Structure 1
Amino acid sequence: MNAKVVLEREHPLNLVACRLIAVGLLCLLFLPETPYQTPLQQNLALECPSLEKGDIYTQSEFLSRLSHECRYDRLLLPTYQTGEVVYVHASAYVYFIQPAEAHDLNFKLHFLLQLRWTDARLAYALYSPERTKIIGESDLWQRIWVPHLYMSNEQSSSLMGTDSKDVLISIAPDGEVLFSRRMQAVLYCWMNLQKFPFDDQTCSMNLESWKYNASILRLMWEKDNPVRLSSELHLTEYSLLDYWTNESVVRGDIVNMRLGGAGNYSALKFTFKLGREVGYYLMDYFIPSMMIVAMSWVTFWLQADASAPRITLGTSTMLSFITLASSQAKTLPKVSYIKASEIWFLGCTGFIFSALVEFAFVNTIWRRKKVVNLKKVNSKYILKSTLTPRLARRELQKELQASPQLSKSRSCSSLQQETSSDPAGPGYNNYLTVHSFPSALNLPTITTQSYDDLITGQGGQRAGGSEGSDEPPKHHTWTTMTPQEIATWIDKRSRILFPLMFIFFNIVYWTFVYCL
């Protein structure tokens, strides 16, 4: 006790320090625990600007206070505190569509994309009641949270002009954000060209969430006019038949491809149907090809032995049509299926080639030396006797053997009359007939008769009857035609047959492309 008194008298400050230390320990034990703050957070807490009387500030000053990092984090979702789903409403204004060439399988699209969502952290109605709207460009875009979207069928895309010109953001007093962005994009369109150039193509623009899956962010089209088309929208090669929108959920299986990992992601699709205008192809392909095919028929009006002009006409029409078709084929992709334009090409090529084959056929017949024996003058027997002349001669021999008058004479040779000035006509033929008569020298007598005289018999008598008899004469239907007459007959029939077949081909083809 004496020592304590002595200590207090000699060192009074020691006792005060001990008492302060004891009080501090008691405060640490019984006061509530406060969170630890870094020096940066302490500075932000001290420097966080106030939003009171926000009407006195300019838009830029108020916006910098509203989106200050002390109260707003642009990396966090607007609903990160409540955990609710963020609904993003989208709409588009399309003012230019340019389908590319068919072999590129894509199209170019110019449009204005608008996204709308609500961010409660940006509500300023209580702080600045007189301010109606905050409007900014790229500087505001870098201050607030914006959904991460991409086009899944995109080949290339870019902003039109500068960032500050083509990005516009407005914030309403209740925290509703409207994000507008003018873009141009080249999008893939997998075309079906089986009915080219009478095809209809369905292309789409696919918008998908990139960072957040469907449990966090949901994309939705606006209920009223989700997609609007410009009144000045005009297409050259196509016509816009129809368009529609739909919402879907896509599966993201590859974790590394999306920042949100595997799962279901919200997606929007804008689809439009284009019909190809066939006026260009009619004027530049189909009508010229019809004229080329018709030109190949001129060869039927030329004489069968006019080899030079007929060959020149046939080959020139074939080469002209192949050149015309190849110019159209360069604009098409190399696909494995047959297109409607290729069917037309094969059909026209077949008609032109058939005209060349017909010339080769009639020219071969024209150069024959022997007449052709026919049972009847019609298509069946003419073609049959022309293709199989030996069989026709055998049938003629059988017919001659059946007649008793014609069996007494024997045909040795035939002489073809070349000129049409002969009174007997171009098909007139003489036959050398040998008759045996008894004489001292036993020499045969040679007389000349035509084939018609052989049929009618000696002295104007027809086989099987006589002038004074009442029996009706037997009419033999066998006759002859010269090779030149047969070639001319085939050309005349071809002048009618080929156009009729081509008209039938056109009826079938145009029915297929428009009705099926």
Structure 2
Amino acid sequence: MSLALSCYMLLLVWSIRLTVTASCPMSLQYFPMDRQACSIEIESYGYSMRDIKYVWSKGNKSVDVQGDVTLPQFKIMGHEQESAIAALTTGNYSRLICKIKFSRSLGFYLIQIYIPASLIVVISWVSFWLHRNATPARVSLGVTTVLTMTTLMSSTNAQLPKISYIKSIDVFLGTCFVMVFASLLEYATVGYLGKRIAMRKSRIEQLTKLADEHRKKCAAAAAAADAAVAEQSAAQVPPQLICATTGLPLDPALQLPCGIKNPVHHQGNRCIGGPPPKMVYGGCPQKMNSRILEAKQSGKMMNEASSMTLGGGGGPGNQPPPTPVPFGPKDPNRMLGVSPSDIDKYSRVVFPVCFICFNLMYWIIYMHISASSSPN
């Protein structure tokens, strides 16, 4: 009796369709210009490599992504396939890995965040063309733009995970907020500078008024001093001697002061008063001459002082009077060489130029970094 045993090797094909909702950890450092790589791993957790081994049957063509598949926020850039072995304490397990690369679409964020933020910054520049005395308009415009930027930043971050590092969109929104806040501070600076200039003008006007009053008082005092000097000079002039014969005044050089009683004698047809020449040079004329000299010097000094006070005639030697020094700086409408209008004029140029330069640097740097960096 013979027994024939036939063995057949069977090929089992098992097909299953699954809908998987997978999570993917992302790095949002360059958001929204980031690129992500999400991986899907297939592994047996119950059978080790002694029992089962997974391989890609068609190699790189085992996974196919249809061309009409689109995502609302991402573009599919491609995929990679690889096999791996997971070494655990219970053994080695076969694993299949498929990495799908994504690139975030920027259109939504341009329309919803970047363009509105830029327009808010541009609107804040309108205050530079308003008059600096239009306080309600400029303050309301500055406060409104600051609050709008705050709301936009809050709504943007509310849609993102709570992460601790800075994203690229945070850099843009933060710079826009600083620009808007700086425009509000610019008006505060203009208002403060205008107030200080107005206070200084008022103080200069008060000082000028006080100086005019003081000048008038000095002029009145100088006039009184001139009158007193004139009276004193008139009181110190000795009386003239009159010839008893002719009734004419005598020669001033021959008049004798100090009350020396000398008879007037005749010399021919001319009246001559006084003693002989030897009596003229006595002690009394010297005392009289010294008194007259002191009176003349004091009168001259008073006249010079009065002329210098009044600002006419000049001092000794007919020198011109000193030029009066004006109060305050040369231009009362400026402080530290700048006026409030100048600040507005400079801001009309500086703020747009700074914002344009920032945008150029921002987009060039982040687009280059995003293109050259690997996903995740």
Q: TM-score range by the shorter chain?
A: 0.5 to 0.7
> Which position in structure 1 is the counterpart of 2:169?
341
Quote the offset at 1:198 in angstroms: 0.7
Match of 1:229 among 49, 55, 65: 65
> Which position in structure 1 is the counterpart of 2:344?
491
For the Cα contact (< 8 Å) 1:432–1:446, is it kept in 2?
no
For 1:408-438, what per-residue CA distance to the aligned partner results, in whole angstroms no more than 9, with x for missing partners? xxxx96339xxxxxxxxxxxx9994666664
The amino acid that maps onto 2:35 is D
Quote the offset at 1:231 in angstroms: 3.1
Q: Secondary structure at the match of 1:178?
A: coil
> Which position in structure 1 is the counterpart of 2:75?
239
* Whole-angstrom distance in 2 between the partners of 1:293 and 1:235: 32
Q: Secondary structure at the match of 1:479?
A: coil
Q: Comparing both structures, which one devotes a greater share of its residues to strand? A: 1
2:330 paired with 1:501:
no
* 1:39-58 alignment runs, 5 A limit: none
Quote the offset at 1:251 in angstroms: 2.3
> Which position in structure 2 is the counterpart of 1:203?
38
Quote the offset at 1:216 in angstroms: 2.5
Match of 2:18 among 158, 162, 183: 183
> Which position in structure 1 is the counterpart of 2:134?
306
> Which position in structure 2 is the counterpart of 1:482?
333
* 1:387-398 alignment runs, 5 A limit: none
* Whole-angstrom distance in 1 between the partners of 2:343 and 2:143: 21
Q: Secondary structure at the match of 2:67?
A: coil
The amino acid that maps onto 1:214 is M
For 1:17-43, what per-residue CA distance to the aligned partner results, in whole angstroms no more than 9, with x for missing partners? xxxxxxxxxxxxxxxxxxxxxxxxxxx
Q: Comparing both structures, which one devotes a greater share of its residues to helix? A: 2
Q: Secondary structure at the match of 1:177?
A: coil
Q: Secondary structure at the match of 2:21?
A: strand
For the Cα contact (< 8 Å) 1:250–1:267, is it kept in 2?
yes
Residues 430/358 of structure 1: CA separation in 2 closer, same or farther (3 Å cut): farther
TM-score in terms of structure 2 length? 0.63
2:182 paired with 1:354:
yes
> Which position in structure 1 is the counterpart of 2:3?
none
The amino acid that maps onto 2:77 is L
* Whole-angstrom distance in 2 between the partners of 1:430 and 1:341: 60
For 1:197-225, what per-residue CA distance to the aligned partner results, in whole angstroms no more than 9, with x for missing partners? 11111101111112111233111112341
* Whole-angstrom distance in 2 between the partners of 1:307 and 1:252: 73
For the Cα contact (< 8 Å) 1:245–1:270, is it kept in 2?
yes
* 1:28-427 alignment runs, 5 A limit: 123=9, 175-224=10-59, 225-253=61-89, 262-368=90-196, 369-371=198-200, 414-415=204-205
Quote the offset at 1:245 in angstroms: 0.4
* Whole-angstrom distance in 2 between the partners of 1:180 and 1:264: 25
* Whole-angstrom distance in 1 between the partners of 2:124 and 2:185: 12
* Whole-angstrom distance in 2 between the partners of 1:414 and 1:509: 50
The amino acid that maps onto 1:414 is I
For the Cα contact (< 8 Å) 1:370–1:482, is it kept in 2?
no
Quote the offset at 1:326 in angstroms: 2.0
* Whole-angstrom distance in 2 between the partners of 1:267 and 1:357: 61
The amino acid that maps onto 2:333 is T
For 1:379-403, what per-residue CA distance to the aligned partner results, in whole angstroms no more than 9, with x for missing partners? xxxxxxxxxxxxxxxxxxxxxxxxx
Gaps of 5+ in 2: 1-5, 227-305, 313-319, 370-376
Length, aligned pairs only: 262
Quote the offset at 1:178 in angstroms: 2.2
Q: Secondary structure at the match of 1:192?
A: coil
The amino acid that maps onto 2:344 is D
**Higher RCO (CA-CA < 8 Å; seq separation 6+):** 2
Aligned sequence identity (%):
30
Q: Secondary structure at the match of 1:439?
A: helix
* Whole-angstrom distance in 2 between the partners of 1:446 and 1:273: 92
> Which position in structure 2 is the counterpart of 1:103?
none
TM-score in terms of structure 1 length? 0.47
* Whole-angstrom distance in 1 between the partners of 2:178 and 2:68: 45
Q: Secondary structure at the match of 1:228?
A: coil
Quote the offset at 1:305 in angstroms: 2.5
Residues 288/446 of structure 1: CA separation in 2 closer, same or farther (3 Å cut): farther
For the Cα contact (< 8 Å) 1:194–1:339, is it kept in 2?
yes
RMSD: 3.1
Quote the offset at 1:511 in angstroms: 2.1
For the Cα contact (< 8 Å) 1:195–1:339, is it kept in 2?
yes
The amino acid that maps onto 1:338 is I
Q: Secondary structure at the match of 2:189?
A: helix
Q: Secondary structure at the match of 1:341?
A: helix
Q: Secondary structure at the match of 2:120?
A: helix
Higher mean alpha-carbon deviation, 231-240 vs 266-275, is at 231-240
The amino acid that maps onto 1:204 is S
Quote the offset at 1:510 in angstroms: 1.2
